[in-house]
Amino acid sequence: MNIDLSLYLVTDAKIATDAGRDLIELVHTAARNGVTTVQVREKDASARQFLDTVLRIAETLPPHASLLVNDRIDVYLAARAAGARVAGVHVGQSDLPVAAVREMIGSDAVLGLSASTEEQLRAAASGAGNVNYVGIGALHATATKKDAPPPLGIERFAQLVAASALPAVAIGGVTRHDLPGLRAAGAAGAAVVSAVCAAADPAAAVLDLRHAWEASA
C-alpha cells in the first residue's frame, strides 16, 4: 500500500464553511503543511456535488498526499474515470461488504474500513476484500459523525491496535494531545476533522499536529 496515513484529514464542508473557510482551499493548505492523506466525506451532498468536490480537491492536492473517497464507490469510480488522482475508498461497517467493494474498485485501489471491535478487526484482516488499513474509533466523543460508536479512549484503542493485523488509524475527536499516546500504542496515523476544519489557522493547526506526531517517534 503506497499511502502515508500518519496525518489524515477527513473533510467536513459544513464545519469549514461555519469557520469561514473554503473547503478546497483548506484542504490544499492542510496538505501543503503536512497532511498526508485526505478522505473526502460529504454525507449531505448529492452525488454530483460530491464528485465535483472530489475533482476540485484532486486538481490542487500536492503529489505527496493521497485522496480517498468516503463510502461512495460510484463517486470514486466516476472521479477515476474522469482522470482524477484518487487513491481509493474508505467504507464503514454498514456500507457494502468489503469483498464487493474490492471487486468494484479493483486490486490496485486503496481500501480502508472502519472498525471498533476485535471481531470487526478479525473480519477486516480475513482477506475477503483485501482491506489495506482500518480506521479505529471513535477515540473520543465526536459530533462530526452521527453514527459514531461509543468512545474508546487511548487504553482501549491500544488494545485494538494490538489485536489488528492491519495498519490502524485513530479517529474521533482526535487532538494534538492524543498523538504521543496514539503513536506509542502503535497507530499508523491519526485522523482529524474539527482539529483542522474548525481551526482559526488551519496551516498552523496542521504544523502543530505534524510536530506532535513526529516528536512522538
Contact of 105 with 73, CB cutoff 8 Å: yes
Q: Is 42 annotated as a binding residue?
A: yes
Q: Is 173 annotated as a binding residue?
A: yes
Q: Is 12 annotated as a binding residue?
A: no
Q: Is 144 annotated as a binding residue?
A: yes
Contact of 131 with 124, CB cutoff 8 Å: yes
Alpha helices in 38-92 (DSSP H): 47-60, 73-81
Question: What one-character DSSP code corresponds to residue 188?
Answer: S
Beta strands in 80-207 (DSSP E): 88-91, 110-115, 133-137, 168-171, 189-192
Q: Is 143 annotated as a binding residue?
A: yes
Q: Is 193 annotated as a binding residue?
A: yes
Exposure string (b/e) for 75-113, b if CB count within 10 Å is 16 or more?
bbbbbbeeebebbbbbbeeebbebeebbeebeeebbbbb
All three cell numbers of 141, joined, read: 466523543
Amino acid of residue 23? L
Question: What one-character DSSP code corresponds to residue 71?
Answer: S
100, containing H or E segment: helix 98-105
Q: Is 56 annotated as a binding residue?
A: no
**Residue 198, Cβ density class (10 Å: 0-12 exposed, 13-18 middle, ≥19 buried):** middle
Q: Is 70 annotated as a binding residue?
A: yes
Q: Is 36 annotated as a binding residue?
A: no
Q: Is 178 annotated as a binding residue?
A: no
The annotated binding site is made up of 39-43, 70-71, 95, 114, 142-145, 173, 193-194
Annotated binding site for Mg(2+): 71, 95
